[in-house]
Homo-oligomer: A and B are copies of this chain.
Amino acid sequence: MHSQVEHMRSSVEAAVDCSERLAHSTLAERADWLRAVAEALDAADAELVPLADEESGLGEARLRGELLRTTDQLRFFADIVTEGSYLEVVIDNANPHLVPPTPDLRRYLRAIGPVAVYAASNFPFAFSVLGGDTASAIAAGCPVVVKAHPGHPRLSRRTYELARSALEFAGAPPATLGLVEGFEAGVGLIQASGINAAAFTGSLAGGRALHDLAVARPAPIPFYGELGSLNPVVVTAAADQERGEALARGLAQSFQLGHGQFCTKPGLVFVPTGSQLEKVINAFVSGDEGRLLTESITHQFRNGISVLKAQAGIEVVAGGTDDSLAPTVLAIDIHDAINHPELLHTEVFGPVTLLVRYGSDDDLAAALDAVGGSLTATLHCTEDERLTGLVARLEKIAGRVLFAGWPTGVAVTWAQHHGGPWPATTSPFTSVGATSIRRFLRPVVYQDAPQNYLPAALLDDNPLGIWRRVNGEWSAPDGRPGRE
């Protein structure tokens, strides 16, 4: 234990020591570093994928896809850095004619400094040592100290070794990436004065505890946590009538993905009373016991299912045998759910989903209002329905609003948003997609600076060739005004 804490301290110290070098590295340098790491992980897939499967039991096919997604993500952030819009450059030239006159002001975003990343159990590649948090933080110019997840310690170490070698070979300071292990080191990490921000994906309880430590520091730091989500789905009567069986198949596939261990698992599905979906879903639910990621998740899943089953009015639609880890579908009438609102905001991580049978739109609205913040909210309706009010209600509680799809699967793109009102995330930021880099940056504005003191992004001749807002107007990389 003690040596893990010592190691954490020296890792943070090393990160602090190289943080200004990283903050002032060029866009091209950081893009190279990220691509070098991607290449090293891709080259080691034959070693990494079986190791990940051994520790997580998620299956080699899924893990191979996840590794590809992870290395694509590293390359995506290399592109984002090179493109340079993420710097959010805004330039206002001096205006001596105003009263009072305004100075020359040039704003950009700079790296926030050393970042702590808490790896998740359920994506041993994509949300772990070299996952999106680490990729976006390094892209921003921040050294990262990762707290490894105890669910896949050997994979974490091996990924780290490969990445660290690749980074060093590509010319990055060695302390660009650090790895620490153990509960005490994790608790100490978020309190370490050298850490300037933290990112976390995991449980509400664990995330809340780390959040509370982050904000209680003498100098509080931003805590970017993705903590939990019910991901409500609404199926209209018309949609159920039109395609109830297809919806049942889609739901079954989605909530069983990764044995139900996705943060975007649809956990709460509002279906019309007497739905086709409920009648046929059993046929699409696997009887496979499977395996959950960790002992703690296994314990909490069994406990969660038995608490659900003990609620008045709950019926088992599929699975649900005592102590089984097999996928389970439960159902309840909406009035029973409204009377036990904890059903509407308690996530059970693992392969279980709860159908809530509704009759009236008013009941549906009342129940949705009781659902806490979610990463996603999904609507299945028909083409001729006009449900603007319902969609506004979904937007109010979620960060991603889906139509005719299922929330599992989070594309890593420019527009993606993976976040939502508490407890989905602890901040109005995303942990997936291009804009996740914004978490690890802070603005600085230069006032009346001579050209020789300005960062490259702010120079008159725009040597980085990036889009900038100049005197309130967008300005293209070639210098022509954006709007004419």
Chain A residues within CB distance 8 Å of chain B: 20, 23-24, 65, 83, 85, 88, 90-92, 100, 102-103, 105-107, 110, 112, 211-212, 215-216, 219-222, 372-373, 383, 386-388, 391-392, 395-396, 398-405, 409, 411, 413-417, 419, 421-423, 426-430, 434-435, 441-450, 452-453, 467, 469, 471-472, 474, 476-477, 482-483
Q: Are B112 and A447 in contact (CB under 8 A)?
A: no
Q: List 15 A-B contacts (CB under 8 A).
A: A92-B416, A102-B413, A215-B215, A219-B372, A219-B421, A222-B428, A386-B452, A388-B453, A399-B442, A401-B444, A402-B447, A403-B447, A414-B471, A414-B472, A417-B444
Chain B CB count within 10 A is highest, among A107, A222, A402, for: A107
From B65, B106, B221, B429, A415 is in contact (CB under 8 Å) with: B106
Task: Decide if B403 touches A444 in the complex (CB within 8 Å).
Answer: no
Min CB–CB distance A78 → chain B (angstroms): 13
A414 and B90 contact, Cβ closer than 8 Å, known pairs A430-B443, A445-B400: yes
Q: Out of B23, B215, B221, B403, which one reaches A449, CB within 8 Å?
A: B403
- With A399-B443, A444-B400: A102-B411 Cβ-Cβ less than 8 Å: yes
Q: Closest chain B residue to A373 by CB distance?
A: B219
Known: A107-B417, A399-B443, A421-B442. 4 other contacts (CB 8 A): A92-B416, A103-B411, A414-B471, A477-B483
A443 and B222 alpha carbons, distance in the complex (Å): 18
Which listed residue, B388, B444, B474, touches A395 by the CB 8 Å rule?
Answer: B444
Give this chain's copy count.
2
- Return the contact of A105 from the options B222, B413, B472 (Cβ within 8 A): B413
> Which B residues are in CB contact (< 8 Å) with A401?
444-447, 449
Known: A90-B415, A448-B404, A452-B386. A483 touches B476 (CB 8 A): yes
Chain B nearest Cβ from A434, distance in angstroms: 7
* A438: min CB distance to chain B, Å: 9
